Structure 1
Amino acid sequence: MMVQTQSSSPRGFAAMSAEKQRKIASMGGKAAHAKGTAHEFDSKSARIAGKKGGQAAHAKGTAHVFNSQEARLAGLKSSKR
């Protein structure tokens, strides 16, 4: 019988620098697109996914709550597109 112990130090992907993780993830995304198996959102499914993420963040208490100045600036940015 083998007993597993938990390590407090990160291993594998988690132990890599953020830059190296991004590089590897980017390679995977490029490969999926080249192969034709990457998921591509249309505007409706992207809106639904964003809404789910926002609801989850609010439920966890981790969502950013805009003050009136931030909301005004965000609105100005989106209107310039």
Structure 2
Amino acid sequence: MSNKDDKLTRSEAGKKGGEAAAKSHDKDYYEKIGKKGGEATAKSHDKDHYEKIGKKGGEATADSHGDDFYEKNGEKGGEATAKSHDKDHYEKIGEKGGEATAKSHDKDFYEKIGKKGGEQRNK
């Protein structure tokens, strides 16, 4: 206890209350209040708010994790996606990506990547 009068600080009281709540509530309870809080937050914040907190969280994660973390997560996500999608899905997204790339790149771009691909093949 940090106060002279043997009173709990706000932080200590919050921790104590949180620990007590954790003992008396189950996962379902926390899911419900989390959903309720998320819905309330969504009503009071705009897209800009979520972009800012997403960027902040992404930067914090990048600062605390190395390349290995992202490689493992990417591999895990790729495996999960492969299990839930068939060849047709990949053909569709490949075509969509190709169309988007074609709109944003000119003939020079394709000549350069074609040359790079040919060089790699000849090694």
Task: State the TM-score bracket (shorter-chain normalisation).
Answer: 0.3 to 0.5
Q: TM-score, normalised by structure 2?
A: 0.34
Does 1 or 2 have the higher relative contact order (CA < 8 Å, sep 6+)?
A: 1
Q: TM-score, normalised by structure 1?
A: 0.45
Higher helix residue share: 2
